[in-house]
């Protein structure tokens, strides 16, 4: 149980960091490199939140085995946890999108900034663009996801 609580606390910390970077730091310095830092923090926060719920369910023996790779863990989360806790399926696409951005960044050979957009090139010469407004939308959706996740843990969380 302590592991689930620690994962959730770390996820909440990462969400607060992303929120602060987006709503305090970015408007102050207007550096588009922060867009990627915000996205990375948000992706890690969502991943840790999913892992916290999975760990919580393992502790209470609702799930017996969780695979080690992310896609399989996300599938277990989708089939087992989302219906149990009434988590909207729209959050699944948000988690996948953030993880996809993270994966593209790991594989990209070139990333640059043009016209207030952060652009990542993919292997097949497709471009993935991120902008400040899109990141703010991700944060808004993430906050509502975290409200749901934190409500699951409200009686067991130790801070």
DSSP string, 58-120: HHTTS-S---SSHHHHHHHIIIIIHHHHT--THHHHHHHHHHHHHHHHHH-S-EEEETTEEEE
What topology does CATH give the domain 2-100+132-152?
1.20.120
**155 pLDDT higher than 80:** no
List of residues 6+ apart from 31 with CB closer than 8 A: none
Mean pLDDT of the chain: 90
CA within 13 Å, CB half, 141: 21
Per residue in 24-71, pLDDT tens? 999 999 888 999 999 999 999 999 999 999 999 988 888 888 888 999
pLDDT of residue 157: 46
Closest CA to 45 of 84, 69, 14: 14
The continuous run of DSSP H or E covering 41 comes out as: helix 33-59
């Amino acid at each position: 149980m302590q592991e689930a609580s620690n994962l959730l606390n770390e996820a909440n910390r990462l969400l607060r960091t992303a929120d602060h970077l987006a709503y305090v730091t970015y408007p102050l310095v207007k550096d588009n490199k922060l867009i990627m830092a915000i996205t990375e923090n948000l992706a890690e926060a969502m991943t840790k939140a999913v892992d916290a719920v999975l760990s919580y369910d393992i502790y209470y023996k609702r799930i017996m085995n969780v695979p080690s790779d992310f896609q399989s863990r996300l599938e277990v989360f989708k089939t087992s946890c989302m219906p149990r806790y009434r988590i909207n399926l729209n959050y699944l696409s948000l988690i996948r999108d953030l993880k996809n951005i993270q994966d593209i960044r790991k594989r990209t050979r070139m990333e640059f900034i043009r016209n207030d957009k952060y652009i990542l090139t993919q292997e097949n010469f497709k471009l993935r663009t991120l902008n400040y407004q899109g990141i703010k939308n991700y944060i808004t959706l993430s906050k509502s996801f975290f409200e749901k996740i934190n409500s699951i843990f409200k009686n067991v969380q130790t801070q």
